Amino acid sequence: MADLELTPAHGGQALLLARLLGRPLSEILDFSASINPFGPPTAALAAAQAALAEVQHYPESDAASLRHALAAHHGLPESNLLVGNGSTELLYLLPRLLQPRRALVVTPAFSEYRAALLLAGVEVVEFPLAVETGFSLSAADLIATARSADVDLVIVANPGNPTGAGIAPELLLAVADALDGRCTLAVDEAFVDFCPQLSVLTAAPSRRNLFVFRSLTKFYAIPGLRVGFLAGPDALMALLRNAAPPWSLNTPALAAARVCLTQTAYHDATLQQIPLWRQELAAGLSVLGCRVFASAANYLLAELPPAAPVAAQLAQQLRQDGLLIRDCSNFSPLDGRYIRLAVRRAEENRRLLLALQGVMNA
């Protein structure tokens, strides 16, 4: 079968693959986008559906109701929060406002960091984490590099994407404190809801140089609704709110997001179940000869065994069967031997492992 014309730029191309294969979306298993396999909370979907009755009116221009709900949920002042159309919108907004000369990006990393920085005219320097150490971060080395490279902004994800490696919050706060007065630290916590003990969100209001990005779309499985937020120091958050476009979130997205924050049972079940499914998937990959890296998130980074096809070829063959995986060859400094796999339900993970076994043994 011909190449299905998908690129590794981002995961989450299930709609495109379904169309190319001529198959229903329900037959596509997407391991390339790391979304909660429980699916959206039923109450959140009901809220979005009910909100359609209000679409003849403009939504809130500043997402005030959601900002209020987020502040109450996280115990933060509303003045320290900004809601956006997914955290990616805010990733693009921050460098436009701060206008740093040079930024240090901890890699491997989400490609939109570099794209947003370059669009804002910022020079990008990389701080690569080592495969040999399991992508662990040395706060001392990061601080030293930020100083020697004379950067104005440091961007790091916790947990890392695509590595899944977690960083102890005290290490990140030590970095922020050491760089205070000369550099801003931006921490992307898009997946931290799966490992909440790693978050530095509540520290953002008390520091002058700390920004924290958060996403509701991964944990609550609503990426099609695009909801994220940013926390940071008072004065700069006021400037960001003034610079942000109005009507960023639509009415159904606002309604669904507010309800997501109330779903305690869903939250607790996710935190209980995902580590079990992650452990099972990791064990299965190890049996296939993959090197699997420790992860605190709802996805796994794996290095393929020497005899296996490269990631691009593997992904292409799996697509024929309606399976999507993330080829990590465009995550510097990784190469074509690495794949990222979302943790899904046990039966879905088993289907993927069987398909991988078949391709590797072909």
pTM reported for the whole predicted model: 0.94
What pLDDT is stored for residue 3 in this prediction? 53
Closest by Cα among 65, 155, 148 to 108? 155
Contacts of 201 (CB under 8 A, 6+ apart): 74, 76, 189, 192, 212, 214, 231
By three-state DSSP, how is residue 314 classified? helix
Domain ranges in the chain are: 14-40+264-360, 42-260
C-alpha 15/C-alpha 342 separation (Å) is 17
Q: How far apart (Å, rounded) are the C-alpha atoms in residues 158 and 161? A: 8
| Buried residues in 73-99 as b, exposed as e (16+ CB within 10 A) | ebebeeebbbbbbbbbbbbbbbbeebe
Whether omega for the bond prior to residue 162 falls within 30 degrees of 0, making it cis, is: yes
Compute the C-alpha angle 132/327/296, nearest 5°: 55
Residue 92 tokens read as 């693009």
CATH fold of 14-40+264-360, please?
Answer: Aspartate Aminotransferase, domain 1 (3.90.1150)
Residues in contact with 7: Cβ distance below 8 Å, sequence separation at least 6, in sequence order: none
Tens of pLDDT, residue by residue over 194-229, are 999 999 999 999 999 999 999 999 999 999 999 999
| Residue pLDDT, tens place only, 111-154 | 999 999 999 999 999 999 999 999 999 999 999 999 999 999 99
Q: Please tell me the chain's helix, strand, coil percentages from 3-state DSSP, rounded to the nearest 5.
A: 45, 15, 40
| Greatest alpha-carbon span in the chain | 59
Output the six-digit token pair for 246.
């109005």
Convert the pLDDT of each residue in 40-63 to its tens digit: 999 999 999 999 999 999 999 999
Topology adopted by domain 42-260: Aspartate Aminotransferase; domain 2 (3.40.640)
Q: What is the pLDDT of residues 222-281, one digit of tens each?
A: 999 999 999 999 989 999 999 999 999 999 999 999 999 999 999 999 999 999 999 999
C-alpha distances in Å from residue 325, one per residue of 26, 34, 307, 328, 339: 16, 10, 19, 9, 7
- Cβ-based neighbour number of residue 121 at 10 Å: 11
